[in-house]
Amino acid sequence: MTDHQHAATGPEPVPGPEGATAVTPEPESGRFRRDRRHQMLGGVCAGLGRQCDMDPVIFRITLAVLSATGGIGLIFYGFAWLFVPYEDEEENEIRKLLTGRVDGHTLTAVLFALVGCGVFLTMLSNDGMLSFAVILSLLLAGAGYWSRRRGAVPSTDHIAAQAVADAPPEPQAPPAPSAYPSWWRDPIVKDGTHVGGTGYLWGPRDSRDTYIAAAVDASLGAHSGARGSVYATRPRPPQPRGPRGIGGWVFLFALLAAGLGTGLTWETHPLGTSLQTGLACALAVFGIGVAVSAFLGRTGAGSVVLAVVTAGLLAGSAAVPKDIGTDWARTTWEPTSVAQIRPAYELGTGEGVLNLSAIRVPEDRTVSTRAEVGLGRILVTVPRDMTVKLSIDVGVGDIQLPGDKQKDVDVAPGKHKEVTLQPPAGAEAAGTLRLELHVGAGQAEVRRAAS
């Protein structure tokens, strides 16, 4: 191998201490590391873009979509943030967590992973959403693999490569000296073996450009009046302005989109569908803002955090029961005979009152009915002299039965009771009333008629 080939293929020498030359270590290739310089939050997408030779915006948009459609994006980003270190470090966030050095970055990564797992568990019953997330993940992985393989294909022009290797190095002008050491700092031993400081605590500083210019002016006979201009401080060149932040505008447009999407569907759709529409519009605006920031301005980490929060709210709104409406209403049902009792009484949002105190059921007969409220309160008044078999289900809320104190409210999720209310002693013989109550979120209360 010739000297030129060695210079072309080997690492670039860097001057070291004492005039020696040190070899700059080559960056490790083939290992996925997070990128600190181009990061927006944790540097995961920037590291993926550098690893696969792709625009990091592609990974950011895809992971945002995967976060909203099953939580897979949040899970991947959180665990990659925890287990993959920066390119200039060897210690990852999970090791810092285990050693007790917890900071905001580590907690944010843990939060991403936990929120992603929660969203993923809520989407397990939605086969269509999970299928879309899996297909999109496979497409992104395939695109990254193809882009990396394409960049790793070696050049087939061996003649051009050999010519470049054999070419002499390009001549360069010698660097212009910017400073000379002061005379008094030279070693005081003639052979130059002096070690340590010169022993002087004062004296002239090293000559800079201004002092060299002053000496040149003095040798050319420059007048003393111009000396002040020589020592004048050079004005600093204006610093280039960075890209303008568009995070505020993205947040404003996301609010407008959320309000518009929710308002257009508020009157005609259930509460869950209306909330999903508004949050989906806001999430779309955040995604467009991140995409636009790749060409114009920058959004910052705040927009990414808001997009993740919006995706979590969108996943939560998908769990809202479809029977919960957007209008709060008070409805009263008062059947006066067994024939007027309907099989079911339903109310989306509001307070429903079912008064069955006027019902008279024969002794050998059983009457059944059901009352459902999505969000609100259901109050049922049963006859005084009848046997009532109750089956009550409350998603989140409280159940009140005859004999309970009105102030004893115990709100809890997943409440279920099956109770049989016997008629009081001395009451006339009567039939049986079978009653089923279902409340999504709110309160179910049953009372006995006074007389």
DSSP secondary structure string for all residues of 353-410: EEE-TT----TT-EEEEEEEEEEEEEEEEE-TTSEEEEEEEEEEEEEE-TTS-TT---
Is residue 312, in this structure, part of any structural domain at all?
yes
Q: Which domain holds residue 76?
A: 44-150
Torsional class of 413: left (φ above 0), alpha (ψ -120 to 50), beta (otherwise)? beta
pLDDT of residue 233: 53
Chain segment 275-287, per-residue pLDDT in tens = 888 888 888 888 7
Q: Are residues 382 and 352 in the same domain?
A: yes
Q: How far is CA 432 from CA 138, 158, 356, in A?
A: 60, 96, 13
- In a domain, residue 169? The reply is no
Tell me the whole-structure pTM to 2 decimals. Answer: 0.40
Whether residue 309 sits in one domain with residue 338: no
Residues 356 and 284 placed together within one structural domain of the fold:
no
Give yes or no: residues 355 and 430 share one domain. yes
Q: Is the pLDDT of residue 446 over 70?
A: yes
Tens digits of per-residue pLDDT, 90-106? 888 888 777 767 667 77
Asked if residue 128 belongs to a domain, the reply is: yes
Tally of domains in the chain: 3
Q: Please state, in angstroms and as integers, the Cα–Cα distance from residue 289 to each residue in 20, 55, 137, 373, 404, following that order.
A: 51, 16, 22, 40, 55
**Is 310 found in the same domain as 345?**
no
Residues in the chain, overall count: 451
Specify whether 70 is located in the same domain as 141.
yes
User: Is the same domain home to 351 and 437?
Assistant: yes
C-alpha of 175 from chain center: 49
Confidence grade of residue 438 (pLDDT, cut at 50, 70, 90): very high
Domain boundary among 99, 126, 150: 150
Reported confidence tier of residue 437, pLDDT bands at 50, 70, 90 = very high
Q: Which helix (H) or strand (E) holds 439?
A: strand 432-448
12 falls within a domain: no
pLDDT of 369 over the 90 cut:
yes
Q: Is the pLDDT of residue 122 over 50?
A: yes
DSSP 38: T
Is there a domain that residue 222 lies in?
Answer: no
- DSSP H or E run through 217: helix 209-219
What average pLDDT does the chain have? 75
Domain identity same for 302 and 404: no
Specify if 31 maps to a domain: no
pLDDT at 253 over 60: yes
Mark whether 314 and 333 lie in a shared domain: no
Lowest mean pLDDT among 121-130, 147-156, 163-172, 252-261: 147-156
For residues 192-202, b (16+ Cβ closer than 10 Å) or e, as one string? eeeeeeeeeee
For residue 262, give both structure tokens.
């929710």
Question: Of 318, 353, 374, which residue constitutes the final position of a domain?
Answer: 318
pLDDT (0 to 100) of residue 14: 43
> Is residue 20 one of the residues assigned to a domain?
no
pLDDT of residue 135: 85
Of all residues in the chain, the percent with pLDDT exceeding 90 is: 8
pLDDT at 371: 92
Q: Is residue 423 part of a domain?
A: yes
> Residues 144, 81: one domain?
yes
Q: What SS3 class is residue 207?
A: strand
Q: How far apart are the first and last CA of the chain?
A: 110
Same domain, 136 and 68: yes
Is the domain of 296 the same as that of 386? no
